[in-house]
Amino acid sequence: MLIKLIIGGLLGFMIYNLFKALMMMNKNDPNQPPMSKFIGRRVMTSVVIVLLLLVGILTGLITPNPRPF
């Protein structure tokens, strides 16, 4: 259950960074951090989520759905 909460929190963090990058793109203020900073955080968060899912499946903490046929 803990790994699912961590993944849910990371998904929320990823969505937050996506909208923060959107705000930076719309403002176009040179004094603010670049949009690529937030997009990079989003990409790294998605990599961490995929790795957590793989480790969870391989260790048996998460059971994937059975095959549909």
Per the domain annotation, does 6 fall within a domain? yes
Per the domain annotation, does 64 fall within a domain? no
Per-residue pLDDT band at 1 (split at 50, 70, 90)? confident
Sole residue written with tokens 């990371």? 10
Per the structure, how many domains does the chain have?
Answer: 1
Alpha-carbon distance of 17 to 43, in angstroms, equals 10
Per the domain annotation, does 69 fall within a domain? no
Per the domain annotation, does 66 fall within a domain? no
Residue range of the domain that includes 40? 2-27+34-59
Number of Cβ within 10 Å of residue 44's Cβ equals: 12
Per the domain annotation, does 65 fall within a domain? no
Mean pLDDT of 5-32: 89
pLDDT over threshold 90, residue 68: no
Task: Indicate the pTM of the whole model.
Answer: 0.80
Q: Which two tokens stand for residue 45?
A: 């968060």
